[in-house]
Structure formats: structure tokens, C-alpha cells
Chain A
Amino acid sequence: MRSGFLRGARRLWALRGLSRTAPPSEELFAREGPLRAFLDRRAGSGAGGLDAGGNQLAAAARLLSEKERELRDTESLLHDENEDLKKLAESEIAVCQKEITQLKHQIISLLVPSEETDESDLILEVTAGVGGQEAMLFTSEMFDMYQQYAAFRRWHFETLEYFPSELGGLRHASASIGGLEAYKLMKFEGGVHRVQRVPKTERQGRIHTSTMTVAILPQPTEIKLVINPKDLRIDTKRASGAGGQHVNTTDSAVRIVHLPTGVVSECQQERSQLKNRELAMKKLRARLYSMHLEEETTKRYNARKIQVGTKGRSEKIRTYNFPQNRVTDHRINKSLHDLESFMQGDCLLDDMIQSLKDYADYESLVEMISRKD
């Protein structure tokens, strides 16, 4: 029953995705549907024993059915012979419908469980994939796109490492991003991004396909992840000799090894060694935390199609097709045109990310209802 329901929901969304509309809350709230049954139980369960969110939900569900009854009652007045009464009914219906839509939105936002990491800052990692120099050039463009998106969102963006290729591309880079809803939105960017275009280096005008990978790692707070300093080995270039005033060296690169896991984090972005150590530590913490989260999620069964966070790293999520000036997200089958604007990292990218978020909300709602059935 459950998987059938999910499949149905996906098909529905796929159709919606093509027509680029809002999430199908109408279908979700259909009478006799599972969400209805769920809400009716909630509305009936009263306030006793529920947490604050549950109370709000029960209240909203009750209010929703009241408003819907009111709507039905008012609708019968539309057939009244009295013109004044009819007009009054029309305006009341409009108000009622607006309230119902708002209540539905409220119910969705109350129901969609927020992830433990949603409020976190994050580490963005970009890595060139298949396609040699062209992949590295694309990786560099993608890194710039995210930097611009962070500016668009007024997030803090700090480059942690940057490994350019000899010919102007980017092999690998990472950055720390922080700000309102940063992880909540950026988590949908994790995965394999594919580019199709004629590389600058291609003489015969053939279209190449290359890839790059984005990883989004939530940055843990001090409380969520505690690292024992004894588990760390910090390597610097000053390990030999007397140190201190006796030597004057400039190599400020820092390499931190987390001994129990073998995870390595390096930084040579800054001239200050202390600063490099802080940045390397930030990265190390994010990596260890995402390993921890990955462990947690594999323990749980997860039927969602959008495998947010670190789980979708190997999935091809999006194609940037330059000859057709189109970007398509394969998870929601949504295409946008005007690639150049998209790569500017402002409204269009934001639009895509919002659609992904709506879809993920919708899907987690469906999953939740079917679980509680």
C-alpha cells in the first residue's frame, strides 16, 4: 500500500514538475486521502499528551475542517435568489478559500520534519570529475556560481582550500558557508553535475560531456561533535630544529590527521599558520560529522527519492547543456533556460533550489503519512 502510494505521488509530481507549478497540496489534501485521515485523527486526539507542535497541528487541522464546513455552507448560498446575499456569499467564499490555503501551508510546514542539521553552517566541496581540463574549467565556474549564490543569499563565504589546475581550471576546492537556512537550501546541491558543451580547447567543434561533484557537509556545533585532541596529529613544516625565535620560516601549511578514522584535512590558504589550522579543523569536523550522519541514515530505512545531504554524492542530479542553453534537474525533471543567468548564481539557481525544497517537503510529508498509517 505504501510503496504504491509513493509511486502515485511521484508520478503526480513528475507531471507537475513538467508544468512547473507549486507542490500539489490540493491532491495531498483530497478528501478520503491519507493525509485527511491522518489529520482527522490528530484533530480528534485533543490537546492531551501532545507536544507544542502537535497541539498547533491539531488546532490547525480542526480549524481547517471548520473552515471547509463553513465554505460548503456558504457555497449553498450562491444559489440563493437574493442578489445581496449572493454577493455576500461570494466575498465570504473568497476569504474562506484564502484562509484554507494558508492553513494548508501551515499544516505542511508543521508536518515536514526539520532535519537535525537544517540550521547548520556547511562546508561546500567541489571536485572535478570525468573530462580532464574541461571538467576542471566547469568546476571552477561552479565554484564561482556558489560563491555568487552565497552573496545573493547574504551568506558568509570563506574559501578553505583551492587547487587550481595548470590551465586555469579547478581540481578541487572547498569553502565554509554560513547564514540563514544555508544548509537547508544548499543540501540539494550535493551530487554529480554534468556539463555538455564544446570545450574551449576542442578544435573540431565536438560536444563533450564532463562531470564534477558537489558535496555539502553540515558543519557541526561544538556540542554535536566532540573531538578528543589526543586523536589528532597536526603536521606543520616547523617540526624540526629549535623553533621559536631560532627560525624564521614562511611555510604555513597545516595538515591534520584524525588518527582513529584516518581522515586527513589540509590547508595552505592563509599566511597565518594558526588561521590555516582553524580552517583545516573546520573541514575535518565537517567531514567527521557527515561520516557520523551517514552512518545514522544508513541505519534508517529511507525511501525518499531526493537523497539529501551526503547520501546523493554519486547520483547524477543535474545537466548543464550549453548548446541548448538549458539546465535540467533530473530529480524533479525541471528545466530552466538561460544557462548564463543560471550560472550567475542568483534568481534562477534560487528558483531551482526552491523547487527542490518544495519537492523534498512534499515527499517527506507523503513518506511520513504513509508511515503513520
Chain B
Amino acid sequence: MKPWGRILWTLLSGPRGRRGAPQVWALNPWKSHSSLPGLWSATGVVSHWTRVFEERGIPEARESSEYIVAHVLGAKTFQSLKPVLWTKPLTPKQLQCIQELCSHRLQRMPVQYILGEWDFQGLTLKMAPPVFIPRPETEELVEWVLEEVARRPPAVGTKGGPLFLEVGCGSGAIALSLLSQLPQSQVIAVDKEEAAVSLTRENAQRLQLQDRIRIIPLDVTSEGCWTHLLPWGPVDVVVSNPPYIFHKDMEQLAPEICSYEDLAALDGGEEGMDIITHILTLAPRLLNTSGSIFLEVDTRHPELVSSWLQSRPDLHLGLVAVRKDFCGRPRFLHIQKSAP
């Protein structure tokens, strides 16, 4: 082994057991591949970590490895790295940084938490455990809301853009992308978790959208909670990606989800309807006449929600449209308030 290689080897295999993961290095795959050419370039390091992740059964081995290396080199994706950075030798500091981030991945930490940020719609948002990581489907929920807002002229007598209420704002992904694309709009965002409330606040400030968002710590399942929201209303649109996983499905979730994300943001109770029904009960009191509700749900929910609404005519809500996600699964609901 060349001296440079030995230094690197020490560096990469580095203080064993740090971050409480001695087993991580038990296989020590680095050693066996250290003679490969281009090992210390970005591409070499990506291949190396891909192999390590594969051997350790880490999902999305190549993607994880590419995102981490690209991130350390200042790019969002490996695809968008300048070609000179592909082959340029990495500095020991960069290698150390990659090593540290990859060791988190070996612990099944989601890549979005490892990088501390992720993109949603056109925005880059800070991500921090245990706040729920926005999924790509939810970008389509926002698209749908934007389409509907564009189709409808603002109601007579209203000033400026629509007023949204987002229930369970998490990192602020939905609220902030609506605000950034609708410059006249305003959002009331609520979440019962303090971590989510402060992450949404931080993201709003980073994107300089803090003046049009009101972030309120609120549990929509608590008795009479809607009275706290009355002073800010009435709202034009309620939007939410509520916890909708059926409780019995929770144990099948991957370690990335169940060991790192706030399970309260995922577990929707026995039929995944617990929070959905709370939102639907609360919304009519806060919505404008003919106001709308947009929800992301489980594929079994369109029917369940429809029959639940029929059992509650007092709410004056009707399911007007169901939309499929990019995988063709019924995923989004548009519910509208009708005159009592």
C-alpha cells in the first residue's frame, strides 16, 4: 500500500467505535478495495461507499453514497457536480466528513437528516429529526392546490390572495411552497410538536417568508382547539398531509422511518382516520362558505372518507374529487364545504 493510501486507510477506518458503532467496521471493506485506481476521487469514494452500503444491506446504497459525496463537495446531486470534481482527489477533511456522514447512514439514518436539508417543490428546507420528512407525493398535493387556486378568481370583497390553514406543518414544506408560489397568500400553520413548530419557523425565516405565516403550536385532537384559530379566520383553504398510516401497518415501516421520524406524524390510528376526522370536524367552523379542504391520504381512504362524510351530514362537506399520485394510486382528496 502506498503511504498516501495508508494515511487514508487510517483516516477512513478511523477511531473505531465512534458514534457507538463498532460493528460498522467489522467487515472493513475499505481494506480489500484500497488498491483500486481513482479511489480517492469523488467517483472512487462513491463506489466504495456504495459497496459498503450494499454489503451492510443499506437501502438505496448508490443514491445514499452519491448524495453524501455531492453534499460534501457542495452540490445537491452527483449529477450536478462539475466534471473536474469527479476526478479531483478529495482532501483529507472532505474524506473525513464523508466518512462521518456515511457512518450515520450505516445506522439507517435517512439521507435527508444526514444532510440536514432536502428539496421540496423549488425550495431547499432544513431537515432535522424527528420532524417528518416530506415525501415526493406531497409535492403533487401542493401542485393540485396551486391549480385550484389559479382556476378560481378570488371571492368578491376579499383582499389579496387566499388564506390557508395547514394542519400538521412538520418542516413547513406545504405551507412555505404555497407562500413562495402565491405572493399574495397567507398561511396559518399548526403542529402539536414543538420541534415541528420551531423547524417551520426556522425554514420560514431562511426563505424570508416569515411575514406571511403564523405558526401556532396546536393539537387538533384537543377539545375546543378550534376556538384558538377563530380570531385568524375564516380561511379559504385547509390543507394537510395528516398522519394516515393504519396502526397495524406501523410495524412494517423501514428503520429509516420508525427509528428516526416522529411516529405521531405517521400513525393515523386503527383505520388511519383519527386525525383526518378531527380535521374534517374542525374545518367547517373555520372555512369560508364554499371553502376547500385538500388532503393527502392512504389509498384506502377515499372510500372511507366518503362514507364517513355521508354519516356526518351536519358538517356540510362533500368529497368533490380524488386524484392519483405519480404511481397511479388514489392519494389526494378535495373536499368542499357547501351552504348549510
* A contact residues vs B (CB 8 Å cutoff): 140, 159, 161-170, 234, 236, 238-239, 242-252, 268-275, 277
Contact = CB atoms under 8 A, between A and B. Distances in A.
Interface in B77-115: 77, 79-84, 86-88, 110-112
Contacts of A167: 86-87
A268 B77 contact: yes
12 contacts: A159-B80, A166-B38, A168-B86, A244-B137, A244-B325, A244-B331, A248-B135, A248-B254, A250-B110, A250-B112, A271-B77, A274-B139
B245 A238 contact: no
Contact of B63 (A238, A250, A269): A250
A248 B133 contact: yes
A131 B59 CA distance: 38
B61 to A, nearest CB: 11
Given A166-B86, A248-B261, A252-B136, A243 B325 contact: yes
A251 B257 CA distance: 16
Contact of A239 (B64, B136, B245, B327): B327
Contacts of A249: 59-60, 63
B43 interface: yes
B191 interface: no
A274 B136 contact: yes
Contact of B244 (A166, A238, A244): A244
B302 interface: no
A244 B296 contact: yes
Interface stretch (B118-126, B180-188, B206-214): B118-126
B249 interface: yes
Interface string B283-303: 000000000000010110000
Contact of A244 (B76, B119, B135): B135
Contact of B77 (A140, A168, A269, A274): A269
Nearest to A278: B122
The bracket for how many chain B residues form the interface is: 35 or more
A269 B136 contact: no
Nearest to B88: A168
Contacts of A162: 79-81, 83
A244 B297 CA distance: 8
Nearest to A162: B79
Nearest to B76: A271
B143 interface: yes
B243 interface: yes
Interface centre among B118, B119, B326 (most CB of A within 10 A): B326
B121 to A, nearest CB: 6
A242 B87 contact: no
A333 to B, nearest CB: 33
A251 B61 CA distance: 10
A274 B87 contact: no
Interface in B245-296: 245, 249, 252-254, 256-257, 261, 266, 296
Contact of B84 (A168, A247, A268): A168
Contacts of A246: 245, 249, 252-253, 257
Nearest to B43: A166
B136 A238 contact: yes
Contacts of A170: 83
Contacts of B139: 272-274
Contacts of B111: 250
Nearest to A139: B83
Contact of A236 (B43, B252, B327): B327
A169 B83 contact: yes
A84 to B, nearest CB: 68
Nearest to A161: B79
Ranked 3 nearest A-B pairs via Cβ: A164-B83, A271-B119, A274-B139
Contacts of B140: 274
